[in-house]
Structure 1
Amino acid sequence: MDLGLTGKKAIVCASSRGLGKGCAQALAEAGCDIVLNGRTEAVLEETRKEIRDRYNVSVLSIAADVSSPEGQRALLSACPDPDILVNNNGGPPRRDYTELDREAMLDGAIQNFVTPVELIQAVAPGMKERGFGRIVNITSLSVKMPIEGLDLSSGARAGLTAFLAGVCRQLAPHGVTINNLLPGKMDTDRLRGGFERAAQQTGTSLDDIRAQQAAEIPTGRFGNAEEFGQACAFLCSRYAGYITGQNLLMDGGLYPAAF
Structure 2
Amino acid sequence: MDLGIRGRYAIVCASSDGLGKACAIELAHAGCTVVINGRDAEKLEAAAAEIRELTGAQVIPVAGDVSLAETQDALIAAVPQVDILVNNNGGPPYRDFRQIDRTAMLEGLTGNMVTPIELVQRVIDGMVERRFGRIVNITSGSVKMPLNGLDLSSGARLGLTGFLAGVARSVAHANVTINFLLPGTFDTHRLQSGQKRNAEQRGVDIEIIRDERRQTIPARRFGEPDEFGAACAFLCSAQAGYITGQSLLIDGGAFPGVL
Per the shorter chain, which TM-score range?
A: over 0.9
* Alignment partner, residue 71 of structure 2: 71
| CA displacement, residues 156-190 of structure 1 (integer Å, 9 cap, x when unaligned) | 00000011110000010111000000000011122
Q: Flag structure 1 segments of 5+ consecutive residues without an equivalent.
A: none
1:141 counterpart = 2:148: no
Tell me what 1:118 maps to: 118
Give, in whole Å, the separation in 1 of the partners of 2:171 and 2:223.
31
For 2:60, the equivalent position in structure 1 comes to 60
Measured in 1, the distance between the counterparts of 2:97 and 2:198 equals 19
Inter-partner Cα distance in structure 1 for 2:110 and 2:39? 17
**Distance in 1 of aligned mates of 2:95 and 2:74:** 31
* Letter matched to residue 135 of structure 2: I
Shift of 1:80: 5.1
For normalisation by structure 2, the TM-score amounts to: 0.97
C-alpha distance in 2, partners of 1:255/1:162?
A: 20
1:43-73 deviation line (CA, Å, top 9, x unaligned): 1111111111221221100001001111111
Alignment partner, residue 100 of structure 1 = 100
Q: In structure 2, how many angstroms separate the alpha carbons of the residues matched to 1:77 and 1:8? A: 15
Task: Return the letter of the residue paired with 1:187.
Answer: D
**Match of residue 169 from structure 2:** 169
* AA aligned opposite 1:8: R
- Secondary structure at the aligned position of 2:209 is classed as helix
Instruction: For 1:35, give the aligned amino acid.
Output: V
How far the C-alpha of 1:79 sits from its partner, in A, is: 2.5
What percent identity do the matched residue pairs reach?
A: 59
Q: Equivalent residue of 1:221, what SS?
A: coil
1:1-259 equivalences in 2 (<5 Å): 1-79=1-79, 81-259=81-259
**Alpha-carbon shift at residue 148 of structure 1 (Å):** 2.5
The one-letter amino acid of 1:64's match is: G
Partner amino acid, structure 2, of 1:250: I
- Provide the rounded CA distance (Å) in 2 between the counterparts of 1:104 and 1:189: 25
Q: CA deviation at 1:119?
A: 0.1
CA drift at 1:37? 0.3
Give the counterpart letter for 2:146 in structure 1: P
Aligned-pair CA distance for 1:31: 0.5
Equivalent-residue separation in structure 2 for 1:152 and 1:73 (angstroms): 27
What SS class does the counterpart of residue 92 from structure 2 fall into? coil
Write the letter of the residue equivalent to 1:5. Answer: I
Q: 1:238 is aligned with what amino acid?
A: A
Amino acid at match of 2:237: S
Deviation track 1:174-226 (CA, whole Å, cap 9, x = no partner) reads 11000000000011122123213332443333110110001110110001110
Q: Distance in 2 between matches of 1:258 and 1:159?
A: 21
Kindly provide the amino acid, as one letter, of the partner of residue 188 in structure 2: T
- Whichever residue aligns with residue 90 of structure 2, its letter is G
TM-score of the superposed pair, with normalisation by structure 1 = 0.97
Greater displacement, 149-158 / 192-201: 192-201
Deviates more, 1:18-27 or 1:41-50: 41-50
Secondary structure in 2 aligned to 1:35? strand
Three-state SS of the structure 2 residue aligned to 1:65 is coil
